[in-house]
Structure 1
Amino acid sequence: MKLKRDMRREQMLDVAMEIVRNQGADELTLGTLAAKAGVSRPIAYEHFSTRAGLLVALFKRLEDNYVHWLRSALREAPTELTAVADIISNAYFKCLAQFGPEALAISAALKGTEEMAAQQRLMRNVYVELMCDALWPFSDLEDERLRPVCVGLLGAAEALASEAQAGGISQQIATSVLTSLIVKAVADGPHKAR
């Protein structure tokens, strides 16, 4: 049965994730993907062009799921800073827990590539904008100050995630610490000129 182009791409991404999960990111090539997905190599190359393109597509899929979860959770958020900070923290660490080692393997396989650097910049901007929008109602920070604060908070989240994934701290502690950092940064940060 011939699948529509977007359905074929999603099917191949599902197969690619299975390969990463069961065999590791090093085993994922466009050739192995084509064989396991039951498509010709030219079809795999038509969709992803390069191995890095395939890995970026997988990484983007994971990040898009996180952004979707976070947006959904924030729509339902109470209008209180700690609750919003807790939603941001929980969404970040629950997403990492659900994606598990596959996300780390994909990220590691892409380290140092221009494609990954571009994707990370793009997603960092999306995350920071989401955080700024969610935290702005609770902040006295000027726009030009809130954004760098959110960039720093995202850096803290990444460092906490790394420590949690290495087993240095629990996910619960990482989530709690990030919530506290968000509240402190927004509530006690440098204030707008009056």
Structure 2
Amino acid sequence: MMVREEGTSSLTLARVAERAGVTKPVAYDHFGSTDGLLVALYKAIDQDQSRALFDAMAAEPHDLASAARRISDAYMHCYADTSGEWQAVAGALRGNPEIDSTHRELLSGYVDRFGTALGRYSELPAPVVRVRCVGLVGAAEALSSDMVRGGLLEAEASAALADLIVAAFRQR
């Protein structure tokens, strides 16, 4: 992938067209601009990576600790698997209204899925489950960012997220 090899600054519609073996007008007609290309790339990376996460979340382990480990392993692996490309594309688009909206939408989807997957292990009221999932998704984002920057190993980030999930859903 060009982003992995050369970074986002070299990602232009002309270069993408050249590598794809199409003319520049085809690339411009399809993406409109470099930001359009980056938005499409951002969404494609997220869609590919989140499929594995959502598959892991659909499984029904018998206990909270197993569910937490399955979810945290999948979440961190999704980030590790992109080798930082997703973060690089997101960084290149910082301030773009479309990507900001898309990012909020994606995070909201993660919150909903965390709530569905983890709420079954708790007797907490739905609003409390949702708020805790907002915090867990924020923690997952922070841990994965630190992992991608080299601050944590994938196993360390995953274990930390699993511990946070279990702590968040213990009955209180």
State which of 19, 40, 58 in structure 1 corresponds to 2:23. Answer: 40
1:97 aligns with 2:77: no
TM-score by length of 2: 0.93
Please tell me whether residue 20 in structure 1 is matched to residue 3 in structure 2: yes
Matches within 5 A, 1:1-194: 18-188=1-171
TM-score in terms of structure 1 length: 0.83
1:114 positional shift: 0.9
**In 2, Cα distance between the equivalents of 1:74 and 1:152?**
17
Aligned counterparts of 2:101 and 2:57: Cα–Cα separation in 1: 26
Q: Give the ranges of 4+ consecutive aligned residues of structure 1 lying more than 6 Å apart after TM superposition.
A: none
Alpha-carbon shift at residue 101 of structure 1 (Å): 2.2
Contact (CA 8 Å) 2:42, 2:86: kept in 1 or not? Answer: yes
Show structure 2 runs of 5+ residues with no match. none
Contact 1:89 1:179 in 2 (8 A): yes
Indicate conservation of the 8 Å contact 2:4/2:83, yes or no.
no
Displacement, 1:45?
1.8
Alpha-carbon shift at residue 124 of structure 1 (Å): 0.6
| Contact map agreement 1:82 1:179 (CA 8 A) in 2 | yes
- The structure with the largest alpha-carbon Rg is 1
SS of match in other structure, 1:100: coil
Which gives a bigger RCO, structure 1 or 2 (Cα 8 Å, sep 6+)? Answer: 2
How large is the Cα RMSD of the aligned pairs?
Answer: 1.5
The count of corresponding residues between Structure 1 and Structure 2 is: 172
